Amino acid sequence: MKPTSNRTRQNDPEGLRNRVLDVAADLFQMRGYHATSMKDLIQATGVSGGALHHHFPTKKSLALSVIADRVAPAVRQTWIDPIRAAPSLARGISGVFAEITRAADAHGRVAGCPLNNLALELVLSDADFRNAIDAVFVEWQSALAERIAETRGGALLDRAKRTDAAAFIVSVYSGAMTLAKSKQNASSLRSAASILSYWLREREFA
């Protein structure tokens, strides 16, 4: 059985790549990019150094792939898709916060937002990281701005002001998540959800 398993791994480069990305995303989230070495990744994934470097020649290339292939899809799944599918912007945002706080309560800990964690650590150190992370934020804000435009209050705003409003929503969530991570409980997320709900109604974005 073991030789067959080895052959399967060798003949499944995409599976190996995905496994490395999954492990790297988890380690970057829990330890941070700078505190995670390539040796750590080799040990955690069980792949050889040659196989790891074949797919990701440098740690930076791995991190950029994590942002593109793990962090960006996570933001889409957690925020963008639910917001687009919701019957209203307000209900969409309320649902997102409810799901995030439920998950935090269930896990008994708050690891923080993967995008925020990497942004805080990497954007000042490298322009490629900054551009990759900013692209995810832009996609997130654009999805929110689209839904804002569909509301009664949002229809009265120009594109720049809708984008500003979307950035405010992202900022409230990001700040609340940072506080939740610091306190290791979801109380700040619940407070942020309540305040945002009032803010949306006040501006007729609901």
Candidates 105, 33, 126, 110; CA nearest to 71 is 33
- CATH for 193: 1.10.357.10
pLDDT at 135: 98
Half-sphere exposure of residue 168, counting CA atoms within 13 Å on the CB side? 14
Count up the domains in the chain and report the number: 2
Nearest in space to 83 (alpha carbons), one of 136, 145, 137, 135: 145
Average pLDDT over the chain reads 93
- Between helix 159-183 and helix 127-149 the angle, nearest 10°, is 120
At 205, phi and psi to the nearest 5? -95, 0
Measured CA to CA, the distance from residue 3 to residue 9 in angstroms comes to 10
Residues 89 and 150 in one domain: yes
pLDDT given for residue 4 in this prediction: 40
**CATH number, position 35:** 1.10.10.60
Say if residue 32 is in the same domain as residue 85: no
DSSP assignment string, 67-79: IIIIIHHHHIIII
Domain boundary residue, one of 57, 75, 105: 57
What's residue 177's pLDDT?
A: 97
Which pLDDT belongs to residue 13? 86
Q: What is the pLDDT of residues 107-166, one digit of tens each?
A: 999 999 999 999 999 999 999 999 999 999 999 999 999 999 999 999 999 999 999 999
Q: What is the pLDDT of residue 12?
A: 83
pLDDT at site 11: 67
In a shared domain, residues 107 and 169 = yes
Identify the domain containing residue 38 by its residue range: 1-57
Same domain, yes or no: 26 and 118:
no
**What is the length of the chain?**
206
Residue 50 corresponds to which tokens in the numbers above? Answer: 């040659």
Query: Mean pLDDT in runs of 10 for the chain (206 residues)?
Result: 43 89 96 96 94 94 98 98 97 97 94 96 96 98 98 97 98 97 96 97 95
The whole-number pLDDT of residue 1 equals 39
Q: Is there a contact between 96 and 77 (Cβ–Cβ < 8 Å)? A: no
